[in-house]
Amino acid sequence: MPRRLTGFTPSGDLHLGNHIGAIAPIISGQAAADTVVFISDLHALTLEHDPAQVRRRTLEFATVLLAAGADPDACLFLVQSHVPEHTELHYLLECATGFGEAQRMIQFKEKSRRQQHVRLSLLTYPVLMAADILLYDTAEVPVGEDQRQHVELARDVAQRFNARYGQTFTLPQAVHPPVAARLMDLAAPDTKMSKSAASPAGTLRLLDEPDVLRRKVMRAVTDAGTDVTYDPGHRPGVSNLLTILASCTGGSPEQLAARFTRYSELKEAVADAVVTTLAPVRERYLELDPDHVRLVLRTGAERARDLAGPKVRQVKEAIGLLPPV
């Protein structure tokens, strides 16, 4: 069974796109695949952040994932910073990564351009991501296009390490998430729905109350004309609503388009479908006891360390460190 790994960075609020694109596929696959799910809190420190918010969101993300159906008995479920082997391996992998290799990462170029003070960790973050992946001998990493280059870096570093110091790491590969739909921002349908969106108006947050979700859908921008047709190139607003509907109810956006003659009918149907999808997650989220979640995370970290500890010892030995007695 190939191992799969997905991380969630607590740097903004989880939204319907994360649910459809990442959370739901994990949950439907967790019984059949060997799955690692983790909250990548260390990655949230690479940009300006509010410490209290990162801490709060780390617990919130873990709780949301459990509420959505992540089963900590079926998968490895942990917070990255609770397993110190992630940072230990990070340093060891830095010793097998080129400076130019890190500088070439498109995300680094884009994100560093927008900052006045660029943290060194923003440059080295793909190496930490390589450590996250290689620590557990991950074979498959479901990611969107923006993360593909980082998975390739992890693969290159693993290959180089194996060639230089002996077979140590499984070579990972990026795989397309099983659900291909990419949800766009309701207020700006030419940009992706995103945790880091400037305004919350177009983002259907996983923990939004049902009437907030409804209001956001009803205010979604539509396109000139009145027909309900699926044509993302020319009619991004309406097409996005159809994609959202299809993601929540099944079926294809093209087929669904034929059912509606007016925007208002489509919006009502989308609002209902979104609320039906997200309300149960929010309800379970509110029921979960934070102390129970913390206990689940403690057990997850212990189980993770059982795998990660021996791996790091193997890497240290291969690279030339004297084991302590």
Angle between helical axes of 145-165 and 290-319 (0-180°, round to 10): 40
97 is an interface residue for ligand ATP by CB under 6 A:
no
Record the tokens describing residue 299, joined without a space.
């057990």
Applying CB under 6 A, among 3, 4, 10, 20 the residue interacting with ligand ATP is 20
194 is an interface residue for ligand ATP by CB under 6 A:
yes
Applying CB under 6 A, among 4, 10, 17, 248 the residue interacting with ligand ATP is 17
18 is in an annotated binding site: yes
Q: Among this protein's residues, is 195 annotated catalytic?
A: yes
13 contacts: CB under 8 Å, gap ≥ 6: 57, 195, 200, 203, 205, 206, 207
Stretches 29-37, 50-58, 194-202, 307-315: which one binds ligand ATP (CB under 6 A)? 194-202
Q: Among this protein's residues, is 267 annotated catalytic?
A: no
Q: Shortest approach of ligand ATP to residue 14 CB, angstroms?
A: 8
Q: Shortest approach of ligand ATP to residue 263 CB, angstroms?
A: 22
233 is in an annotated binding site: no
Q: Shortest approach of ligand ATP to residue 243 CB, angstroms?
A: 9
Contact 187, 7 (CB under 8 A): no
Short-list 3, 85, 2, 63, CA closest to 36: 3
Q: Which residues within the stretch 114-153 sit at the binding site for ligand ATP (CB under 6 A)?
A: 143-144
**Binding residues with ligand ATP: total (CB under 6 A):** 19
Record the tokens describing residue 4, joined without a space.
């799969």
Applying CB under 6 A, among 196, 226, 264, 314 the residue interacting with ligand ATP is 196
291 is in an annotated binding site: no
Q: How many residues comprise the chain? A: 325
Q: Residue 178 carries which DSSP code?
A: S
**78 vs 315 by CB, closer to ligand ATP:** 78
Is 24 in a helix, a strand, or coil? helix
Distance CA(77)–CA(69), nearest Å, equals 12
Closest residue to ligand ATP using C-beta atoms: 21
Spell out a b/e string for 60-69, using b for 16 or more CB atoms within 10 Å of the CB, else e. bbbbbbbbbb
Distance CA(195)–CA(205), nearest Å, equals 9
Distance CA(200)–CA(194), nearest Å, equals 9
11 is in an annotated binding site: yes
Applying CB under 6 A, among 119, 192, 294, 316 the residue interacting with ligand ATP is 192
**39, amino acid identity:** I
Is 61 in a helix, a strand, or coil? helix
Applying CB under 6 A, among 49, 160, 182, 305 the residue interacting with ligand ATP is 182
**173, amino acid identity:** Q
Q: Which residues within the stretch 210-269 sit at the binding site for ligand ATP (CB under 6 A)?
A: none
The residues assigned a catalytic role are 111, 192, 195
Residue list, annotated binding site for L-tryptophan: 132
User: Contact residues for ligand ATP (CB under 6 A)?
Assistant: 8-9, 11-12, 17-18, 20-22, 143-144, 177, 182-183, 192-196
Residue list, annotated binding site for ATP: 9-11, 17-18, 144-146, 183, 192-196
